[in-house]
Amino acid sequence: MLADAYIHQLSPFAIQLTESFGLRWYGLAYIAGFIVGWWFIRWMAKTDRSPLAPDQAGDLLFAGVLGVLFGGRIGYAVFYDPHLFTGFSSAFPWWDLLAINRGGMASHGGIIGVLFAFIIWGRKHKVPAMHLADLASVGGTVGLFFGRVANFINGELWGKKFPNQTEAPWWSVKYPAEITEVWVNNTDQYGDKLVALEPLKTTIVSGSDAFYQQIVIEAYAGNTVVIETIASQLTAWYPSQLFQAISDGPLLLGALVLVWLVPRKPGIVSGSFLVVYGILRILTEVFRQPDEGVSIIFGLARGQLLSVCMVLVGAVMILICAKNGSKKYGGIIRTKQASA
């Protein structure tokens, strides 16, 4: 039954101090990803799987953090919303590019940013940049996993509509925010659904000016009367965020571990990351809504098109790096680095 689909009621705050301020799950996802990445880099260094010294793990991580933040935000503007570069306002933070709540970050941009950061850091410390990229590729899968889970908790990056709404399974998801984000903005199409909410004006929110917004708030607060009223009206969507959490986390990590079971030349693992991650993104984007206002090219959403480029770049990296004369590093089942 349609009403059996999961009703999204998760709070974006892990710790909420005020109505709009607190520690968000999305922030915790970044912190957890960076901590696991630091641990992995330090473990590789301490066990002689990397030419890095253990005390360099923190410095390298800091460079990676800057790469993710700058690359992710600039990448979003370049790939999805170039107007962010030219938008300014009188309110903080004044420049739209700095307003992270407007669109957020792009994972493809974050990858490019990290690579640039590691090239600079590697040259300064005389460590192969491609080896640093290998370390980030494996350690970063945890951050990708946590990030997608945080997307689900935040109720963002919705999936596509479940094809058979009358038989949507329990694992499909309904967002109360659909009322304010979709119905109110498309009254011609969803007028009947809005009319079905009219009884709540007297029983729940007494005709407040923010009537529909209050319904969403009451639904997230667990108001059973509101939930029973809206459940059959809401659309069931694919939980694409969780699909991508599984693919970008455990599946991608497992593939990279298999590649790095034995020592590899720098760039082989990160090239494999681009190939596998790109393929998984192409597949899972099938269940995700294309970004609003971004055109479809050759039947591919923007994320899929960028992922095709990633696969091609990764394949070229593997071919080039396999032929160079660099030392081999890593090896999950080996404790010492090996020569080429």
The pLDDT of residue 41 is 94
Number of helical (H) and strand (E) elements in the chain, helices listed first: 13, 6
Taking the C-alpha atoms of residue 178 and residue 215, their distance in angstroms, rounded to an integer, is 11
Instruction: Answer whether 24's CB lies under 8 Å from 10's CB.
Output: no
The SS3 assignment for 7 reads strand
Q: What is the dihedral of CA 136, 137, 142, 146, to 10 degrees?
A: 90
Which two structure tokens, joined as six digits, stand for 221? Answer: 């607060």
Sign (positive/negative) of CA torsion 12, 16, 22, 23?
negative
pLDDT at 11: 92
Q: Give the pLDDT score at 239.
A: 97
How does pLDDT run across 91-103, given as a tens digit for each residue? Answer: 888 898 988 877 7
Question: Contact 127/326 with Cβ under 8 angstroms?
Answer: no
Task: Name residue, tokens 């307003």.
Answer: 99
CB 30: neighbour CB atoms within 10 A? 18
CA distances from 165 to 1, 127, 183, 238 (A): 9, 54, 17, 11
What pLDDT shows up at residue 240?
Answer: 97
* Per-residue pLDDT at 335: 46
From the number of C-beta atoms within 10 Å of its C-beta (0-12, 13-18, 19+), residue 132 rates as buried
Looking at residue 205, its pLDDT comes to 59
Q: Say if residue 127 is exposed, middle or buried (CB neighbours under 10 Å; 0-12, 13-18, 19+).
A: buried
Whether the Cβ atoms of residue 134 and residue 269 lie closer than 8 Å to each other: yes
Compute the distance between CA of residue 140 and CA of residue 64 in angstroms, rounded to an integer.
10
User: What's the confidence (pLDDT) of residue 1?
Assistant: 42
- Crossing angle between the packed helical segments 107-125 and 129-154, to the nearest 10 degrees: 150
DSSP reduced 3-state for 51 = coil
Listing DSSP states for 261-304 in one string gives: TSEE-TTHHHHHHHHHHHHHHHHHGGGBPPPTTPPPBTTB-HHH
| pLDDT value of position 206 | 56
Give CA angle at 169 (164, 173), nearest 5°: 95
pLDDT score for 208: 54
pTM of the prediction? 0.86
Asked if 143 and 72 count as a contact pair (C-beta separation under 8 A), the reply is no
* Ranges of residues in the chain whose predicted pLDDT is under 70: 1-3, 205-209, 293-295, 334-340
CB atoms within 10 A of CB 325: 7
Longest dimension (CA), the chain: 76
Which pLDDT does position 337 carry in this prediction?
45
Backbone torsions φ then ψ of 237, nearest 5 degrees: -120, 155
Say which amino acid occupies 219.
A
- If we measure between CA atoms, which residue out of 69, 261, 237, 253 comes closest to residue 145? 253
